Amino acid sequence: MNQAEWYALYCDALLEHDPVKLCTRIQMAEVAIFSRIQDLVQDPDSSHEREIIANALSALRALQRDLQRYQDERQIAS
């Protein structure tokens, strides 16, 4: 896994508007990110990418919270 691959999946999740597809996109991005983290374990020069990854994971968590709130509100309205 390289930076471009995980980042593309991350962007796909951020840009997904369909709540049904969003959960899957978030999971795909997380798997790719965690795979990349494993690749970077032995790379002492990866601090910049690690910072980008930390920010991306934070954004995905916020997206998951928003999705959960949306699903909860939709369930209440039903």
State the pLDDT at residue 17: 94
Averaged confidence pLDDT in the chain: 95
Range of the domain at 56: 3-77
DSSP for 42-70 reads T-TT-HHHHHHHHHHHHHHHHHHHHHHHH
* pLDDT band, residue 1 (cuts 50/70/90): confident
DSSP for 19-30 reads HHHHHHHHHHHH
* pLDDT band, residue 58 (cuts 50/70/90): very high
Total of domains in the chain: 1
